[in-house]
């Protein structure tokens, strides 16, 4: 199992410690935060895009296809009942030198990402609450 530790900083700002990395998450001022970092949902969508991009890069490196500098935009919509990301539209821009005959393979590579696979399967999320002991 991998461990991500979350610590409340102040107001609505929290930090996530992931291996040797610290990521600050917050919400915009109009939502009660200080906009000190991305919102958790934005980071979630970014994780999806980064995962897809890494799968694309790995595929391209393996079959020696030109891919340096490809870009992706992810547009997401939040829905209610329950509150969640209801849809994500992913646009991938490949270099002009990328062969048209391999475009579908890029789509398949993106679809193999762990984050996307997690979204399509029922994932158990167990929550436990502990209080610090008084010394």
Among 91, 85, 2, 99, residue whose Cα is nearest residue 39: 85
Cite the DSSP H helix spans in 1-135: 40-63, 103-111, 114-120
**Can you give the length of the chain in residues?**
135
Instruction: Please provide the DSSP assignment of 75-87 as one string.
Output: EEEEETTTTEEEE
Q: Give 76-119 pLDDT, tens digit per residue.
A: 999 999 999 999 999 999 999 999 999 999 999 999 999 999 99
Cβ–Cβ under 8 Å, residues 65 and 102: yes
Cβ–Cβ under 8 Å, residues 81 and 101: no
Annotated domain spans of the chain: 1-37, 39-126
β-pair type (84-93, 71-79):
antiparallel
Q: For domain 39-126, which CATH number applies: 3.50.50.60, 3.20.10.10, 3.30.300.20, 3.30.530.20?
A: 3.30.300.20
| Burial group, residue 103, by CB count within 10 angstroms (0-12, 13-18, 19+) | exposed
Number of H helices, E strands in the chain: 3, 5
Q: Give 56-77 pLDDT, tens digit per residue.
A: 999 999 999 989 999 999 999 9
Q: Which two tokens stand for residue 11?
A: 């107001």
Q: What is the mean pLDDT of residues 20-25?
A: 96
Q: Which two tokens stand for residue 99?
A: 């062969």
Reply yes or no on whether the pLDDT at 135 is more than 80. Answer: no
Task: Give 134's pLDDT tier (boundaries 50, 70, 90).
Answer: confident
């Amino acid at each position: 199992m991998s461990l991500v530790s979350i610590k409340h900083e102040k107001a609505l700002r929290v930090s996530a410690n992931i291996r040797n990395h610290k990521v600050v998450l917050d919400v915009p001022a109009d939502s009660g935060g200080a906009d000190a970092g991305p919102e958790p949902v934005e980071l979630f969508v970014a994780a999806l895009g980064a995962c897809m991009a890494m799968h694309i890069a790995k595929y391209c490196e393996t079959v020696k296809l030109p891919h340096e500098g490809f870009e992706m935009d992810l547009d997401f919509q939040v829905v209610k009942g329950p509150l969640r990301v209801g849809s994500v539209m992913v646009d991938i821009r490949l270099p002009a030198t990328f062969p048209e005959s391999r475009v579908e393979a890029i789509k398949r590579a993106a679809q193999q990402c762990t984050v996307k696979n997690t979204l399509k399967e029922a994932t158990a999320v167990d929550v436990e609450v502990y209080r610090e002991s008084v010394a």
